[in-house]
Structure 1
Amino acid sequence: MEQTENLTFKVIFITAYEEYALKALKAGAVDYLMKPVDVEELKLALQKISNLTVTEQKQNIRTARAAWKNDDATLILSLHDSFQVIDLNGLLYCESDKGYTTFYCSDGKNHLVSKTLKEFEERLVLANFIRPHQSFMVNMKFIDKYDKSGMIHLKDGKKIPVSSRKKEHFVSAFLNKNSD
């Protein structure tokens, strides 16, 4: 990490392993891309590099290191023009649509990324999220109730469908969580 203090160049990290993204960003990468590389994402990353000064990059590194002290409770989203740190304890749910995922936070903010929900699923499951439907992942702590017609009611009033294919798994996880 100390080697990045005097960075005079910019880096885009390309990997097949998402778990290295946080380390790459902490080390000073301007962006990270998952293999296989999507041409549009690469173009956006190159655009980020051309718009970012080395001074701004160094400030981003300092900010990132301060924000990511508790790696287990955060998720870093690569947005069009920045990296957004998401507190998983305040993330209500995620919704996927045609290769994009929107993250809905309890503070009312939404963040759209050009990645599929599948790319975040493993990390979110470890943080007590469940996938009740192909298009949604829900933070279990924000579930108010589940009605037997197949609808999850979140504490903020949002309703999330449970697919028939995932119903048994969801109900089992929901009942086990609430029996603790």
Structure 2
Amino acid sequence: MTTSQLWFTVLVAAVGVERLAEMVVSKRHAAWAFARGGVESGRSHFPAMVALHTALLVGAVVEVVATDRPFVPLLAWPMLALVVAAQALRWWCILTLGPQWNTRVIVVPGAPLVAGGPYRLLRHPNYVAVVVEGVALPLVHTAWLTAVAFSVLNVALLSVRIRVEEQALGVRPGAT
């Protein structure tokens, strides 16, 4: 394993640790929501979401090491900046939604829709972060096959996920 591959693996592992932190927060928020009568929707697609996000992390490292993808600084540094920006956006979403944020779709009846933070600018900012990260993270070390495969599968998954969220929140798709 080259030095750049090692550092890339460390980066991907750090993103994996961040995902585990999200799961801890999500579990705490789910307990809060269920204690207030929260209703979960879309449970059937959640395992696919977990599998896809796990495959992104594993696939990126495997592709880089198995195919000896080059480290291209002119590509790597902007992609790393996008990965960091995606993480910042994701945590801005988490902090803005507070206990209403979750990796699952759990809606507390009567809870107001959040319209502050990044939600005043974008309808689904967390998914913008997911899309950007799904492209940028693998491209930090030119794992373009992983970036393309994740992106294609993610479009299909997000089309289901957003529809489930919109329906659960009682929002018309496309409404502002």
Q: Normalising by structure 1, what TM-score?
A: 0.24
Q: Normalising by structure 2, what TM-score?
A: 0.25
Greater percentage in helix: 2
| Higher Cα Rg, which structure | 1
Greater percentage in strand: 1
